[in-house]
Amino acid sequence: MSETNNICDIIIFGGHGDLALRKLMPALYHLSNDGHLNRQSRIISVSRKAVTQEDHLELIKSKLNEFLKEGLFDEALFDLFAAQLSYVKVDATDHDDYAGLAETLALFPDRERVNYLSTSPSLYGVTCKELDSWKLIEPTSRVVLEKPIGRDLASSQVINDEVARYFEESAIYRIDHYLGKDTVQNILALRFSNALFMPLWNSRNIDHIQITVSETVGLEGRWGYYDDFGAMRDMIQNHLLQLLCLVAMEPPYNLNGDSVRDEKLKVLRSLRPIGPEEIAQKTVRGQYTKGISGTEAVPGYLEEDGGNETSSTETFAALRVDIDNWRWNRVPFYLRTGKRMRERYSEIMIQFKEVPHSIFPKGGNCLESNKLIIRLQPDEGITLSIMNKIPGLSEGMRLRGVDLDLSIPEKSVRTAEAYEHLLLDVIRASPTLFMRRDEVEAAWIWADEILNAWQTQQTKMKPYPAGSEGPTASIALIERDNRSWHD
Ligand code: BG6
């Protein structure tokens, strides 16, 4: 594979943090070794600890060994990769501390720079300010912001305003790592490269849509962060709404920068607000109690390490969402996500309407509506369920549902991780898969209304045992509409 011509400096603030070591370095290792990142590009890790170059390389090597998928670490390739790595100590809040970074960057003053802020969002503003005061921001420089960008509209605006003082909107890359997943991008391919689905993709033919992101993990040592956020802010405001947008949006006129984001924004602005009078009908919030995850006994949310017994943060949320536009009139979207659930999977299920009239004998024949299931992870794939005749000579025609597997197995090819896609797109200065400020804000406006209603009404938390399907109230939520979850 030929090396990319893009030579850049990638500066990772929070370079020794969990995200940088677990996700960013493995992604850069693959990009470099697969020829997508020019070997002359530098990867400069920045954090406030004083660390020698040798210790930095040792740390990166051991973390790559730990976090790369089995068999993918290669000593010789690491040596090549290591030549691109360096470390600079910077305390983000200390002006003078940026001198070392300035000196390192001055070696190649004309290079494009990617500033990846993998720190607490409270440091985004000051980091950008210091980069500016040290004249380290060039017209081609970009800045990457990790979520969470705020915990509501007001706090997201503060962060975005701070960053906007130093970077143009077109240079700001806000990450939602779900958009980097191959299977998520495939939603665009499925919808817009197949004429088959387009005429069916509307309220005339679709009964409802379900989006589920079910996790078996608990908090993985992140109680401090998570308790301030909960499932609504951590998952629904961003990942699930982005999935909903890709399923619901109108065809963009091309795949470039703003056309996809313009269409997603229209969907976000068409979400029907869920106000206090509907909150009990249309939402469920839950929190896990102790239970069994796999074969292991695990504590409840309140007993997790670092937790406190009075928290009212939700670890599960289910919602009925309506989109007020022509295409989706009266087609509900049911969203649910939770931690410590029985199974780990993410999927989108599109349920079509029933046939208008059945010509088949009733006895033993129950016509099931067609379903298109887009499985995002694990075991990614696309399945279309249809009704089929049971072969044989039985009297009358007997039917059964069968699944057509529409996915093409490509097991021999390594699937690129979400962060590889996203980092490569930042390097290429391609913004389509990143969230624009107006998108983030539209999502917060809608989510804030629910969060406020939950707070003012002190909506009751529904407990569910770890390792279960979530609170039974979420089953009631969908059954009120005479529908059921696809499990
Ligand atoms: C992150 C959330 O954004 O996404 C985590 O903060 C969550 O709480 C994670 O576990 C899920 O990502 P994935 O790729 O494992 O589905």
What's the confidence (pLDDT) of residue 412? Answer: 66
- Residue whose token pair is 């390192």: 104
d(CA 56, CA 89): 11
- To the query of whether residue 36 is one of the catalytic residues in this protein, the response is no
Nearest to 116 by CA among 20, 218, 8, 257: 20
What's the confidence (pLDDT) of residue 36? Answer: 93
What's the confidence (pLDDT) of residue 4? Answer: 65
For residue 475, the CA-to-ligand 1 centroid distance in Å is 24
d(CA 229, CA 365): 47
Q: Is 146 in the pocket of ligand 1 (CB under 6 A)?
A: no
Distances (CA, A) of 181 to 71, 185, 372, 376: 22, 6, 19, 8
| Amino acid residing at 9 | D
Structure tokens at 127: 């980091």
Pairing between β-strand 316-321 and β-strand 333-338 as defined by DSSP bridges: antiparallel
Tell me the H-state helices in 320-404: none
Distances (CA, A) of 391 to 358, 394, 400, 470: 19, 9, 10, 39
Contacts of 114 (CB under 8 A, 6+ apart): 8, 9, 10, 11, 141, 142, 144, 426, 427
What is the set of domains in the chain, with CATH numbers? 8-146 (3.40.50.720), 179-479 (3.30.360.10)
Protein residue with its CA nearest to atom 6 in ligand 1 = 234
Q: Is 176 in the pocket of ligand 1 (CB under 6 A)?
A: no
What's the confidence (pLDDT) of residue 2? Answer: 47
Structure tokens at 329: 């009139």
What's the confidence (pLDDT) of residue 205? Answer: 97
Protein residue with its CA nearest to atom 9 in ligand 1 = 235
Please pick, among 30, 208, 239, 421, the residue that the annotation labels catalytic: 239
Structure tokens at 120: 């607490």
Q: Is 9 in the pocket of ligand 1 (CB under 6 A)?
A: no
Nearest to 423 by CA among 20, 138, 128, 96: 20
What's the confidence (pLDDT) of residue 269? Answer: 98
Protein residue with its CA nearest to atom 4 in ligand 1 = 235
pLDDT in tens, the chain (487 residues): 444 677 999 999 999 999 999 999 999 999 999 999 999 999 999 999 999 999 999 999 999 999 998 888 999 999 999 999 999 999 999 999 999 999 999 999 999 999 999 999 999 999 999 999 999 999 999 999 998 899 999 999 999 999 999 999 999 999 999 999 999 999 999 999 999 999 999 999 999 999 999 999 998 888 888 999 999 999 999 999 999 999 999 999 999 889 999 999 999 999 999 999 999 999 999 999 999 998 999 999 999 888 888 889 999 999 999 999 999 999 999 999 999 999 999 999 999 999 988 888 776 667 899 999 999 988 888 999 999 988 888 777 888 899 999 876 666 678 889 999 999 999 999 999 999 999 999 999 999 999 999 998 877 899 999 999 999 999 999 999 999 999 8
For residue 97, the CA-to-ligand 1 centroid distance in Å is 33
> H-helix or E-strand containing 383?
strand 381-389
Q: Is 304 in the pocket of ligand 1 (CB under 6 A)?
A: no
What's the confidence (pLDDT) of residue 411? Answer: 64
